[in-house]
Amino acid sequence: MDAENGIVGFCFLCKEYKEDSILTCIEAEMPATLNALVETRESSDREETGYWCSECCKSFSNHKAASQHFERIHGPDKFICDVCPKTFKSRAQLRNHQKALHTSGNQLSRVQCDICHKWLKNADSLRKHVYRHQTSGDPHICDVCGKSAPNSVALQSHKMFAHRKTRSFECTICNKAFKRAFTLREHMTIHSGNVLYSCPHCPKTFNSSANKHAHKKKVHPTEWQRSRKEYESKFLRERPESATTIYSVCDNAMRPRKPFLLLGVLVIWVLMTYLAFMRTTRLSEPWRDNRLMEKVEHFEENVKSFTNNRETLYRDIISILRKQYEHRPSEVQPLKPLITETTARPAFQRPDVLQPISVAKDGQTIDAAAPALPPDTDGQPDADKVLSKFQQRYINNDPAFPVIPVIVFACNRISVNKCLDDLIRYRPSPEQFPIIVSQDCDDEPTRNTILSYKDEVTLIQQPDQSDIPVPPKEKKYKGYYKISRHYGWALRTVFRQGFDSVIIVEDDLSIAPDFYEYFLGTYPVLKRDRSLWCVSAWNDNGKEGLIDTAAHDLLYRSDFFPGLGWMLTKDLWDELEPKWPKAFWDDWIRQPEQRKERACIRPELPRTRTFGKVGVSNGLFFDKHLKYIKLSEEFVSFTKSNLTYLVKSIYDEAFLKTIYQSPVVTLDELKRGIVMTREPVRIAYHTKEQYKRATKSLGLMDDFKSGVPRTAYRGVVSFFYNGQRVYLAPNANWKGYDLTWS
């Protein structure tokens, strides 16, 4: 800041104040500017220097401090209050003024738009928002991020540059690419040295229109405000209301294409007239109605014929296989049937409902159920193998009624009876849902508890009870090695029987009344959509207060593998079996190499709940989280519901549109209950720290597995808070999960 702004330089060599723009120092014997005099003085004597304010005579040690003092104390006001006409020299003074006079609860008073009733943070935001209403007749909303644009051209530009990342303009010198032509033009000034913009109020020049605008707003606020009002009044006077956008587009961009536009409108009008009048009259003719009914009847006959042919085909296959078996040489002993007939069951008896058998007292088990898989099947005839597997897949050989075994994994909990009681109580059909208990650990009391259910369940025992070699550093994790070995053996054993899918249940789970209905209803979706790989009855955030307790039928897709009551198909097992891990199978299955960007189906209200506090993985975690899980108590007929919305192609479009059209609120606003709407809202996060802070504050699970948050789909976690749907979501241009977040 020179003398013209009140800063006086004092030269200690000639003992004089230097105020003119061009000065002469007697001691230096040369004309110079104030800065040159200071440099001359500093080179000769750095101990004696001084700057004085001509307004208050305050002294400073350097030029910068003196300039800052003059701007702060004696300079012009640069900041204008949005509410009242007061002006201030610093942003801090403006902020203190607004807090003191224009706030409610230490926050700037929010204002509402009278046109669309949207709430804005302050009067300045309202002014800009109303200006958009004045320059656009119809709303132009981005369907990706929800941002509004003043016209269709601006909306198209926003989508192209903000979401498609189009960079069509490239510098011929340094090959740097830009979104817009004027940005390239401004960039070229770096290479050419030309000046594009200049301030109309001072000699300062700029190579960027943004810098010029910021300069005018900061240094010349009064002139900037006046010019902006003049522009707005002129714009609205010449092109009022919604005609502005249409006029500008037609007048500039579309003028050469007016004849084509008129021709297109004429063609569309003719077609609409034809469809509205001529087409309606012709279709109402009786002979056309009769022809349509004939087509419908013909289609019904084809469907019935197809159904009858399919049933006939199944019967023929069964007959052929049985004849092959009956005509085998007598020296081949027929395989003993897997199940014996019993009168305890009603009319229909499935071959895969396994019955108890007796074993001598010197054996391991008395009155044990027959094993689901014979110890050795190598000698079994091929035809019998095919017949056995074919018959076990469907009820009455109908693929619409698959047989889905429920495998209960047990070890040494005698409380397994609670789990089995629920499974038997709510089971709609023993033939369709045979219960197979697979026991490890060789615990006698637990085995006796299982055997007490007799023919209601089938017991199979993991035969390998040998000690597992574990690395020295992982001795304390030996239990996880045994669990993984047990799961691998049981799944291999059951799937070898030919089942198409199985439901996995741990021995410490309670189930909801519609547990079986839930899996039966989602089974067709799981088989149809290759982007799905499991159906789970569990919700990791299923605590009361975080879920909508009235949304019993609400289901989601989830990138996070939930477990705890889940269904998988034989196709998935065939993929996982060759590389089944030695330990920590649940963490292993969540890795990207296994998940392959596939998802699971999960419910809003959990259909399972754990009661096992003691175990390999529980303990303190049970007291802090698991015991608060809310189990659904209402029966939902999922088999009669249309669940095609869970198919990826349908789900993703609706899901993303719902998320990113929801208004954004802050964590503090949600916690304090000052959200202005009861519609779904969104909390944005950009870093791992922001996510963990939000989840801990709201009571959600905050951990990651292979970079995936619990219950998340495409990074979005859906939950309920204070009776309102909330989405904790990343940016709309989310690129995928980050493994470093685990």
- Count the neighbouring beta carbons within 10 Å of the beta carbon of residue 497: 20
Q: Is 486 in contact with 409 (CB distance < 8 Å)?
A: yes
DSSP three-state, residue 419? helix
Pairing of strands 394-395, 368-369: unpaired
Compute CA distances 379 → 163, 375, 385, whole Å: 63, 11, 10
- Mapped onto helix, strand or coil, the DSSP state of residue 609 is strand
Buried b (16+ CB within 10 A) or exposed e, 455-465: bbbbbbbbeee
Q: Kindly state the tokens that stand for 462.
A: 């993991």
Asked if 503 contacts 625 with a C-beta cutoff of 8 angstroms, the reply is no
Contact call for residues 607 and 565 (beta carbons, < 8 A)? yes
Q: How far apart, in Å, are the Cα atoms of 444 and each of 11, 94, 412, 447?
A: 102, 79, 8, 5
Please state at what angle helix 416-426 crosses helix 515-528, rounded to 10 degrees.
Answer: 80
Buried b / exposed e along 544-561 (16+ C-beta atoms within 10 A):
eebbeeeebbebbbbbbb
Question: How open is the CA angle 365-370-371, to the nearest 5 degrees?
Answer: 95
CB 564 within 8 A of CB 537: yes
Is-catalytic flag, 586?
yes
- The structure tokens listed for 78 are 């640069």
Amino acid 189 reads T
What is the number of other CB atoms lying within 10 angstroms of the CB of residue 43? Answer: 9
Residue from 124, 442, 586, 738 carrying the catalytic annotation: 586
Cα 269 off chain centre by: 44
Q: Report d(CA 498, CA 501) in Å as an integer.
A: 9
| Residues in CB range of 620: below 8 A, 6 or more apart | none
CA 9 to CA 34: how far, in whole Å?
7
Tokens of residue 607, six digits: 């259909």
What token pair was written down for 214? 């910021």
> Residues 138, 144, 149, 151: is their CA dihedral positive or negative?
negative
Contact criterion met (CB below 8 Å) for 45 and 34: no
- Which of 408, 412, 418 has its CA nearest to residue 446? 412
Residues annotated catalytic, as ranges? 586
